Amino acid sequence: MRISVSFGATMASPFAVCRLKGRGSLVKCLQKVDPFLHRNIGTDVVATQEQRHGCKSLYAIQAEGQAQAERSVLISCHSSINEKKLLKYISRHGDIKKYFFYESYGLYAVVEFANRESVASLFERAAVPRVSHESTVPFKSRLLSLRNIGLADSTNQQSGQQCQPQTPIPINELILRLSKEESINQQITSLRDIYQLTEENSRLRFLVCSLLKDIAAAYFPECTIKPFGSSVNGFGKLGSDLDMFLDLDGISSRNATKPISGLSLEYQMKRANSERAVTQSILSVIGECVDQFGPGCVGVQKILNARCPLVRFTHQPSGFQCDLTANNRVAMKSTELLYLYGELDPRVRCLVFTVRCWARAHSITSSIPGAWITNFSLTVMLLFFLQRRSPPIIPTLDHLRDLAGPADKSVIEGNDCTFVSDFSKIQLQSNTETLEQLLCEFFEFYATFAFSRMSINIRKGKEQNKPEVAPLHIQNPFETSLNVSKNVNATQLDRFVALCQESSWLLQQSETNTFRGGNKGKASQPWGLATLLLPSQVAGINVSKKRRQEPANERIKSLLESLKNTNRQKKS
Ligand code: CTP
Ligand code: MG
């Protein structure tokens, strides 16, 4: 998948609006990206209080993303489309605020209008397709196709969009890029910059939620569909799934206030045995609609008997693997909490990206459900480790709850989900450890953690006795009786521990952590963090003895050899 960003020159105001009039009028006036998820915290080790006071709340980010998405359309174009012509044509319906192109089995344009009315105007002119031998479901949506009938376009041959990959770069390429950095700290920040969601990918996520909302609105006009999880918590990377939450709370909260006495009307509504039964029936019906009518939605599965019922499908035009849930407000809270921790100190995100990438490179995590450690569990483990530093880098959840004001109070299904939302109330302690030190300490910490007896608990910021038998016990921050890593079996935990031992050891070897950079255009040899991402020699569990006998440079040599072979194969 490649993506072409066509945001124009920097303007004084964050958003500039232009109308494309004559031939000469180009889209240059389209404004600079507002980097809401592209926030560059920089390489500073400690975030200043001022930076944190300026943080946007997740609520504000959601609201902004939703509003942009509702003014946007997704257009499938012929790959040779002339960009200027397309924009000129589309701008007949109104001012275009932003646009970009991306490729996913064909070229797509995301166009954001300045006003929602423009979408209505575009709908009036869009035709229902006429197809022979087949029939279409006459469901109109903001996923459209651009046709160019009977007009040979002389300028068509050169489309001019510079599309970039939207999927994450392959691991081998990442290793080569990291090897060019001159310090492990730089490698870690660079990994975050390479992997974090781009502004465009984030917009596309909001747009897919908004397209889904149009389907659900047939039944529930006041509903919203919000992204949660890594799409918005600041830890998402290109290729992450899209977790969506069908929020029906707006329906009851818009309730007219009941008079204390006198006549009043209320809706008659169907009743079900439990809230779970209501969630299941809503998801069942919406899932059916998505399957039967949702343009671009394929492989729809209704997984209604799961602890958290969901509808899973692929949204083909965006390439996202989607999970639609309803009545999942606790997960929204944990998304908000992870976002807050990520905003508190720039080291948090850098390390989360690094550990997630390291885990994926060694198949500790997987995109297939199973006994693997999940990214969410890994993130909670990293947060716990940062709470255990001396002094702690981030506060405990109990401390965040104690700082909460009356407006922050939140109890969901009996679970206390209260924590402070005002970043300025949070005072951090001054810990100046570098990313390199912290990464090494993280591996050391979990290489020697008493998993057999202790549970990981970010609410208390201290390990607790395990309340139940499970190889890995991580207390769910809000639903405290649940274990986030219940699925993990002993083999997977042992692999994780063995890899932590190996990585901690590798980082302490001078062969690993000495820059062997490629000056004068010479290719660099993998070093530092890049070495940790190379295939491991840890095949089983009890390999630590064998590994210690084997010199580090031998391992690096063999790994280098395998990299060279891959490159040779690529060239040939
Ligand atoms: N979640 C939770 N409890 C769990 C699993 C998930 O509260 N046991 C919530 C978390 O807020 C998590 C979100 O559901 O962020 C989405 O879960 P998942 O997609 O598994 O994790 P992500 O954080 O989105 O990470 P990934 O990039 O792997 O999708
Ligand atoms: Mg997810």
Assess contact for 425 and 403: CB atoms under 8 A. yes
The ligand 1 atom at the shortest distance from the C-alpha of residue 379 is: 23
The pLDDT of residue 75 is: 96
Among 62, 243, 355, the mutation site with the greatest number of ligand 1 atoms within 8 A of its Cβ is: 243
The CA distance from 211 to 231, in Å, is: 16
Who's near 504: CB < 8 A, 6+ residues apart? Answer: 440, 443, 444, 447
The CA distance from 25 to 84, in Å, is: 9
User: Nearest 5°: CA angle at 440, between 540 and 55?
Assistant: 120
Chain centroid offset of residue 95 CA: 30
The CA distance from 119 to 211, in Å, is: 13
Number of H helices, E strands in the chain: 19, 15
Choose among 183, 516, 514, 475: nearest CA to 350. 183
Which two three-digit tokens encode residue 275?
Answer: 């809230």
Please report where in the chains the tokens 């730089």 appear, as a residue.
186
Assess contact for 282 and 269: CB atoms under 8 A. no
The pLDDT of residue 561 is: 57
Which two three-digit tokens encode residue 240?
Answer: 């992450």
What pTM was computed for the model? 0.86
- Number of other CB atoms surrounding residue 454 within 10 Å: 14
The pLDDT of residue 425 is: 95
Question: What is the residue with the minimal CA distance to atom 16 of ligand 1?
Answer: 229
Distance 493 CA to ligand 2 centre (A): 21
The pLDDT of residue 350 is: 98
Reported as a single tens digit per residue, the pLDDT across 183-240 is: 999 999 999 999 999 999 999 999 999 999 999 999 999 999 999 999 999 999 999 9
The CA distance from 536 to 530, in Å, is: 12
Instruction: Please give all residues whose beta carbon lies within 6 A of any atom in ligand 1, as ranges.
Output: 228-230, 233, 236, 240-241, 243, 331, 334-335, 374-376, 476, 484
The CA distance from 329 to 478, in Å, is: 11
The ligand 1 atom at the shortest distance from the C-alpha of residue 334 is: 11
Among 376, 397, 476, the mutation site with the greatest number of ligand 1 atoms within 8 A of its Cβ is: 376
Please report where in the chains the tokens 């921790």 appear, as a residue.
341
Assess contact for 475 and 415: CB atoms under 8 A. no
Assess contact for 146 and 81: CB atoms under 8 A. yes
Assess contact for 52 and 424: CB atoms under 8 A. yes
Distance 353 CA to ligand 2 centre (A): 14
The pLDDT of residue 345 is: 97
Which two three-digit tokens encode residue 26?
Answer: 């180009």
The pLDDT of residue 519 is: 58
Three-class DSSP category at 411: strand
The CA distance from 513 to 517, in Å, is: 11
Which two three-digit tokens encode residue 409?
Answer: 């109070």
Strand 2-5 to 320-326 pairing? unpaired
The CA distance from 297 to 69, in Å, is: 18
Please report where in the chains the tokens 């079996």 appear, as a residue.
489
Q: Is the preceding omega at residue 406 within 30 degrees of 0, hence cis? A: no
The CA distance from 411 to 52, in Å, is: 26
The pLDDT of residue 39 is: 31
- In this prediction, the residues of the chain whose per-residue pLDDT falls under 50 are 1-2, 5-51, 154-158, 539-552, 563, 566, 570, 572
| Ligand number nearest to the C-alpha of 230 | 1
